[in-house]
Amino acid sequence: MQIMKKTLLTALAVGALSAASPALAEGAKIGFLGGFTGPLETLTPPIAEGAKLVAHQVNAQGGILGGTLEVITGDSTCADATAAANAADKLINTDNVAAIVGPMCSGATISAANNAGIPGNTVLISPSATAPSVTDVDDNDLLFRTAPSDAYQGAVLARLLLAKDINEIALAYVNNDYGKGFADSLVAAYEAAGGTVAVSEGHEDGKADYRAELGSLAASGAQSLVILAYADGSGQTMLRQAIEAGDFTQFIGGDGMVGNSLFTGIDNAAVEGMIATKPGTPDLPGAALYTTLASAEGLDPTAIFAPQAYDAAFILALAIQQKGSADREGMSEAVRAVATAPGEIILPGEWSKAVALLAEGKEINYEGASGQHEFDDAGDVPGTIVEMTVTNGEFVEVGAAM
């Protein structure tokens, strides 16, 4: 059934390509919505550069639809759902983008989708919205993501902690879609496997003082503190104040904490050996090729969620080229077609190869920098979770976490 579906989509796209020939010199615009201000502001620029690298490669290899690919950025803040919806609305209704990479944070993504993307029939592919609640959005097949759900990351983190004989934790999480979803997943998996969650408490982001919350967490007697929050927000403040209080001996974080800005004003020795998890890149040809391509452009190929943003942008560009138009109608079907087997494999940077194959009416299957992206019915991908540790005040990747 999948093969028949994709063959039909390809045939329709080839027909659309012929029918849309007058628009072939128009090029295309896609948006990037990220938290340029707010609790992920230091993590956002490299993620945006991952998406912009696609435009650079497309334009260097002949362009899209006979014109250029442009990436227009907007600020979703990560912390303000209304700001995220307004930023998405501007990209869709003023800038007239064909589709959007982003937003980054889960609450922002849900708000942007419900208030702008879905009403505007616009595909959004988030590189980093990992909350399980994203799966449940009634999105008319318009909302996708290239990073795995925290329903999976929470289970992986639980197994990792128990494998390290960390059998009791105190858990602090930012009280939003991301933090609560991640915490619920972690607690369920950890307790089911025999771990003890001595205390689990939500907190609001953006406060200057979390000493009361930390006192409550420390009263549990647990020596290992898990913080599921943001590196430029409550995560940094809570970690610093927990170290000052001296109540915990082991610190653990999720992907939102993985940024070296987390350690601003913190003694390196105090966080040595800290554990974290984040979505990573599998051992596939696309991952190695992306590392080479990004490094050649002076980008950090290991920047968190940058490979996922690159893949989201490349998939959208391929979808536009495949259907022969930057119109939003039929975009989700084209996204699934170019990212789904069967078809000739397209790797990162292979834009001209993809264009030639599509012109011949061939099927393609993009396998990217962060995975194969065989989207399920909800637009989710399984992905890969990697273990991180802190050495000399910096996060270092250990390897895939099982």
Same-domain status, 214 and 239: yes
Same-domain status, 125 and 14: yes
Q: Is residue 375 part of a domain?
A: no
Residue 60 neighbours by CB under 8 Å, 6+ apart: none
Tokens 């998996």 found at: 189
Q: Is residue 239 part of a domain?
A: yes
316, 55 contact by CB (below 8 A): no
Question: According to the model, what pLDDT value does residue 25 have?
Answer: 56
Q: Is residue 347 part of a domain?
A: yes
Same-domain status, 330 and 390: no
Q: Which domain holds residue 213?
A: 150-278+384-400
Burial of 310 (0-12, 13-18, 19+ CB in 10 A): buried
What's the rounded Cα separation, in Å, for the pair 155 and 362?
39
What's the rounded Cα separation, in Å, for the pair 33 and 170?
33
Same-domain status, 23 and 118: yes
Q: Is residue 379 part of a domain?
A: no
Same-domain status, 236 and 305: no
Q: Is residue 63 part of a domain?
A: yes
In eight-state DSSP terms, residue 147 is S
User: Residue 120, Cβ neighbours under 10 Å: how many?
Assistant: 18
Q: Is residue 378 part of a domain?
A: no
DSSP 149-204: -HHHHHHHHHHHHHHTT--EEEEEEESSHHHHHHHHHHHHHHHHTT-EEEEEEEE-
Same-domain status, 192 and 138: no
Same-domain status, 206 and 311: no
Q: Is residue 199 part of a domain?
A: yes
Helix 44-60 with 285-296: angle, nearest 10 deg: 90
Question: According to the model, what pLDDT value does residue 182 have?
Answer: 97
Indicate the number of domains in the chain: 2
Query: What φ, ψ does residue 319 adopt, rounded to 5°?
Result: -65, -40
Per-residue pLDDT of the chain (402 residues; tens, 9 = 90+): 343 334 434 444 444 333 333 333 589 999 999 999 999 999 999 999 999 999 999 999 999 999 999 999 999 999 899 999 999 999 999 999 999 999 999 999 999 999 999 999 999 999 999 999 999 999 999 999 999 999 999 999 999 999 999 999 999 999 999 999 999 999 999 999 999 999 999 999 999 999 999 999 999 999 999 999 999 999 999 999 999 999 999 999 999 999 999 999 999 999 999 999 999 888 889 999 999 999 999 999 999 999 999 999 999 999 999 999 999 999 999 999 999 999 999 999 999 999 999 999 999 999 999 999 999 999 999 888 999 999 999 999 999 887
Q: Is residue 193 part of a domain?
A: yes
Tokens 């369920």 found at: 188
Helix 44-60 with 306-323: angle, nearest 10 deg: 40
In eight-state DSSP terms, residue 111 is H
Same-domain status, 189 and 124: no
Same-domain status, 130 and 183: no
Same-domain status, 178 and 139: no
In 204-249 the beta strands, taken as DSSP E runs, fall at 224-228
Same-domain status, 16 and 110: yes
Same-domain status, 12 and 136: yes
What CATH number should be reported for the domain holding residue 354?
Answer: 3.40.50.2300
